[in-house]
Amino acid sequence: MTKIEEAIDISAPLEKVYAFAGDWRNLKRYFLYVHDIKSVNEKVIGVGARYILRVKFLGRMMTSDWECIEFLEKGGWTFTATLMGGKASKKWHFISENGSTRVIFTMEYKPSPPVIGNIIDILLIRPQWKKIYKRAFAELKRLIEA
């Protein structure tokens, strides 16, 4: 199982950070690998909200299906996401700290096929995800603090 974590402190109150990061229409503004996002159903927030995304990953345009499976108002959410035939868990957690907000992200997935997939993950996929999330969090901070 691969686990990728990223965290950042944003100099803004939790309500502001949560409102911006939690609005699916803003996703393309800080996740630069996302090229298009569409809501699949009427529910756009909370458990059951689903989105289809067009993303550019490893130089290729791909489709990813995201579904919210856990939701805590002003606390965070967890999505499952499909990409390249696999499924990942993507968890966001928001913590208020003295007028600022700490945003913590954790992604977990199982590379496949077992042996070759682990090697490809270590050499190519994991470093790409780390780069994507590091850049996304820096952009999220920049947008909210501006």
- Please list the residues that pair with 79 across neighbouring strands: 68, 90
CA distance linking residue 142 with residue 5, whole number of Å: 19
- Asked if residue 77 lies in contact with residue 71, where contact means CB atoms within 8 angstroms, the answer is yes
Q: List the Cα angle 3/51/146 in 5-degree steps.
A: 75
- Asked if residue 77 lies in contact with residue 68, where contact means CB atoms within 8 angstroms, the answer is yes
Q: Is the pTM value of this prediction over 0.75?
A: yes
Residue 20 DSSP one-character state: H
Domain layout of the chain by residue ranges:
2-145
CA distance linking residue 95 with residue 49, whole number of Å: 23
CATH of region 2-145: 3.30.530.20
- Residue 116's pLDDT is 92
The pLDDT tens digits of the residues spanning 10-51 come to 999 999 999 999 999 999 999 999 999 999 999 999 999 999
| Successive 10-residue mean pLDDT values, the chain, 146 residues | 96 96 94 95 94 95 96 94 90 96 97 89 95 96 96
